[in-house]
Amino acid sequence: GAVVSQHPSWVICKSGTSVKIECRSLDFQATTMFWYRQFPKQSLMLMATSNEGSKATYEQGVEKDKFLINHASLTLSTLTVTSAHPEDSSFYICSASPLPGGELFFGEGSRLTVL
């Protein structure tokens, strides 16, 4: 299967600071990547769709100014959580597919803890 990698795997930050999470497709190019969030003992919820060379598309209820997404190349998307607060603590997972509409492959996830 295709390989998607995330970095960092976990991060702890103080309230009010910004945190950047990277998502890379290692063996394929992805014009679109997807960012999901998973709270403890809950399932994955799509936050936004990252589009290479254009603006990201956000799901209803997700704050664009808080969760900044940049998709600068065909293998890299970044999610920046700005002015993080404890309620932003969660497991953030990115995904991508080698083929449009094909199976999504997920990264290892990044656990964010905001103190």
Partner 1 sequence: EDQVTQSPEALRLQEGESSSLNCSYTVSGLRGLFWYRQDPGKGPEFLFTLYSAGEEKEKERLKATLTKKESFLHITAPKPEDSATYLCAVQAGISSNTGKLIFGQGTTLQVKP
Comparison of 19 and 47: residue with beta carbon closer to partner 1: 47
DSSP bridge partners of 104: none
Task: Report the helix count and the strand count for the chain, using DSSP H and E.
Answer: 0, 11
Structure tokens at 44: 């994955």
- Per-residue x/- mask for partner 1, residues 13 to 52, rule CB under 8 A? -------------------x-x-------xxxxx--x---
| Backbone angles phi and psi of 69, in degrees to 5 | -120, 135
Does residue 106 interact with partner 1 by CB under 8 A? yes
Contact predicate 94/34, CB 8 Å: yes
Comparison of 52 and 109: residue with beta carbon closer to partner 1: 109
Does residue 111 interact with partner 1 by CB under 8 A? yes
| Nearest-approach distance from CB 49 to partner 1, in angstroms | 6
Please report, for residues 2, 15, 27, 77, 100, the alpha-carbon distance to residue 57 in angstroms, rounded to integers and kept in the order given. 24, 26, 24, 13, 16
Residues making contact with partner 1 (CB under 8 A): 1, 4, 6, 32, 34, 42-46, 49, 57, 91, 93, 95-97, 100-101, 103-109, 111
